[in-house]
Amino acid sequence: MNELALALGAAVDRTPDGKFLLTLQFAKPGEFAAGAPEGGKGKVSAPVWVVSATGKTIFEAERNLAMQVSRHIYWGHLIVLIIGEKAARHGVREVVSLFLRSPQPRETMWVMVTEGEAKNLLMSQPGLEKSSAQAIGFLARSKAGYSVELKDFAAMLASKGGEPIASRLGSLKMVTTPSLGQKTPVEEVRITGVAAFKDDKLTGWLDPSETRGLLWLKGEVGKGVVTVPCPGKPEKQLSLEIIRATTKVIPEYRNNKVSFTVRLMLEGDLEEEQCDENLTKPETIKAIEKELRKDVKQKAELALSKAQGEFKADIFGFGEAFHRAHKREWRMLRDNWNEEFARAEVRISVKAYLRRTGLLTKPATLRE
């Protein structure tokens, strides 16, 4: 332990002169074990240490970086690989290959892309976790947005039937609270959507609500919240938690035209309502389900139009679905799949069910 420098996060950027800038965040085991330093007790030292170096290849940058690190760099605990926007637009194939080729880094680390410099995110100091790399790791595991592991990213890169995507990462400056012993502003990392690639190059961004649509079309919704206007009272809202969601993509090939039918289904429980609505009435439930269908469909179409129109990139993996259903036709289409995808007609149908309303039937505080 005393001879190893444990890297928690790696950031890859591109410098203006075409070199790679590699930044590593190292854990300081002593500070980690000591727990959070309490306010006013003197020694306040960050539990991590961030170092950068440049090189013509990432590995060369790592060797240059090692000259500043007194210990042997250990990659086995790497939690996240963050790629800066410039490096991502330039192409990420060699970055991904490097981290898979080397036996130390895990294939299960998260891959994220950030607008601007990736280095800055490793420098940020979160409030709850000891290092930003850990904070990112926990965020990714909580599935806030679309989290991609290195091996999944590599599989998407290697497949002709779908373009890669990765989480989009941003940061947020929080205010300082001197009463809690904070001296410097805490900077929090946060997941702000999805980065869409075409082949191995970054092509654009999806915001959080487009990301919801992407999750729907990829069949990765899992859990989440849907907020829709109250039936009959558009200024008030109600929120449902998704308990179960399924996505079924049915590819069709007729008259030399590719089309998809996407069937979405969700079951939700009511969590919060501002409507003062009597939910015991069947027609109210029906009306809420209608609003749900509208909302899901609209988000899915938002993501779809961006992928088909702006990116012309199949970020949903529809190509894989087409391949599974029509293997012969796929052989003709696979080499210009993105153009076929952009032309394809996609019909989205949604079924939504409100199953439970928690422990209440009507709002408890309602005066009758």
Partner 1 sequence: MLEGGKIDSKQAIFLLTTMVLATAILFVPAIIAHHAKQDAWISAILATLGGLVIARLQVTLGLRFPGMTLFQYLEVILGKVLGKAVGFLYLWWFFHMNAEVLREFGSFLVAAFMPDTPIIVFIIIIAIISAYAVRSGLEVFTRVNQIILPLILLSLLVLFALATKEMRIIRLLPLLDTGVVPIIKGAITPLSWFGEMATFLMIIPYLNKPQEAPRIANTAILISGTFFLITVLGVLAIFGPALSARWMFPTLNGARMIHLANFLERLEAVIMVIWVFGAFVKISVFYYAGVLGSAQVLGLKDFRPLVLLIGVIVVALSILLHPNILDLARMLGQVWPPYALSTFEVGLPLILLAISLIRGKGGQQQ
The Cα angle at residue 199 between residues 195 and 201, in degrees rounded to 5: 50
> Which of 107, 269, 272, 345 forms a contact with partner 1 (CB under 8 A)?
107
Q: How far is CA 29 from CA 104, 125, 131, in A?
A: 19, 16, 12
User: Rule CB under 8 A: is residue 130 a binding residue for partner 1?
Assistant: no
Cα 29 from Cα 39, distance rounded (Å): 20
Region from 43-51, 104-112, 224-232, 308-316 binding partner 1, contact rule CB under 8 A = 104-112
Report the residue from 43, 254, 327, 367 that binds partner 1 according to the rule CB under 8 A: 327
Give least dist CB 136 to partner 1, A: 15
CA angle 283, 285, 286 (to 5 degrees): 60
Binding mask 68-87 for partner 1 (x = CB under 8 A): --------x-----------
Only segment of 178-186, 193-201, 268-276, 319-327 that touches partner 1 (CB under 8 A):
319-327
Nearer to partner 1, 158 or 250 (CB): 158
Q: Is 21 within 8 Å of 61 (Cβ atoms)? A: yes
Instruction: CB nearer to partner 1: give 231 or 317.
Output: 317
In the chain, the amino acid numbered 19 is K
Q: Which residue type occupies 339?
A: E
Phi and psi based region of residue 317 (left: phi greater than 0; alpha: psi -120 to 50; beta: remaining) = left
309 is a site residue for partner 1 (CB under 8 A):
no
Residue 137 CA to residue 106 CA, distance in Å, equals 13
Coil, strand, or helix at residue 200? coil
Residue of 106, 263, 293, 351 interacting with partner 1 (CB under 8 A): 106
Looking at the Cβ atoms of 186 and 325, the one nearer to partner 1 is 325
From 15, 11, 36, 35, select the one nearest 123 (Cα to Cα): 11
Distance (Å, whole) CA 137 – CA 130: 12
For residue 366, state whether it binds partner 1 (rule: CB under 8 A). Answer: no
Closest distance between partner 1 and the C-beta of residue 76, in Å?
A: 8
Residues in 140-199 that interact with partner 1 by CB under 8 A? 151, 154-155, 158-159
Burial class, 126, CB count within 10 angstroms (exposed 0-12 / middle 13-18 / buried 19+): buried
Using rule CB under 8 A, residue 323 touches partner 1: yes
Whose Cβ is closer to partner 1: residue 159's or residue 298's?
159
* Residue 102 burial class via C-beta count within 10 angstroms: exposed 0-12, middle 13-18, buried 19 and up: exposed
Nearer to partner 1, 244 or 248 (CB): 248
State which residue, 44 or 69, has the beta carbon closest to partner 1: 69
Sign for the CA dihedral angle at 81, 87, 89, 91 comes to negative
Binding-site residue total for partner 1 (CB under 8 A)? Answer: 14
What's the token pair of residue 233? 């009272």
Please identify, using beta-carbon distances, which residue of 107 and 345 lies nearer to partner 1: 107
User: Of 103 and 309, which has the nearer Cβ to partner 1?
Assistant: 103
CB nearer partner 1, residue 86 or residue 106:
106
Q: How far apart are CA 332 and CA 334, in angstroms?
A: 6
- Using the contact rule CB under 8 A, the part of the chain among 106-114, 192-200, 232-240, 357-365 near partner 1 is 106-114
Furthest C-alpha separation in the chain: 76
Bridge partners, residue 20, by sequence:
14, 55
Assess 108 for contact with partner 1 (CB under 8 A): yes
Out of 187, 325, 342, 357, the residue judged to bind partner 1 by CB under 8 A: 325
Interacting residues toward partner 1 by CB under 8 A: 76, 103, 106-108, 151, 154-155, 158-159, 323-325, 327
